[in-house]
């Protein structure tokens, strides 16, 4: 399975303490137009599976607990 390991830097980070995916939230997964976000079933936290982000940020904006941060690279700001 292709997952983002700790050694790979991806632009979306999720605060595991704030993410409520274990309570059924899939907002960020649902709003992402590229389907690059998944819920990690191992820990019940959202995760960026592929680094093909458009930096469109609805995932960050719509997250009900502000758990998700999109780290927009300087070049595309
Ligand atoms: S929208 Fe926020 S709380 Fe919901 S699964 Fe995504 S990161 Fe977790
Ligand atoms: S910024 Fe856009 S493309 Fe990137 S993970 Fe969020 S919704 Fe998906």
From atom 2 of ligand 2, which residue's Cα is the shortest distance away?
Answer: 56
DSSP 50: S
Q: In whole angstroms, what is the distance from residue 48 CA to residue 14 CA?
A: 9
What pLDDT is attached to residue 47? Answer: 96
What pLDDT is attached to residue 8? Answer: 65
Best residue among 36, 63, 64, 69 to mutate for probing ligand 1's pocket (most ligand atoms within 8 Å of CB) is 63
C-alpha atoms less than 13 angstroms from C-alpha of 2 in its C-beta half-sphere: 6
State the 10-residue block means of pLDDT for the chain, 77 residues long.
60 97 98 97 95 96 98 76
What is the dotted CATH code of the domain comprising 16-70? 3.30.70.20
Q: In whole angstroms, what is the distance from residue 60 CA to residue 54 CA?
A: 13
What pLDDT is attached to residue 73? Answer: 83
C-beta 37 within 6 A of ligand 2: yes
Domain residue spans of the chain? 16-70
């Amino acid at each position: 399975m292709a997952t983002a390991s700790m050694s790979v830097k991806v632009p979306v980070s999720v605060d595991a303490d704030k993410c409520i995916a274990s309570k059924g939230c899939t907002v960020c997964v649902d709003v992402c137009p590229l389907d690059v976000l998944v819920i990690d079933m191992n820990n019940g936290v959202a995760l960026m599976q592929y680094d093909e982000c458009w930096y469109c940020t609805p995932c960050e904006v719509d997250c009900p607990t502000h758990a998700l941060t999109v780290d927009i690279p300087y070049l595309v700001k």
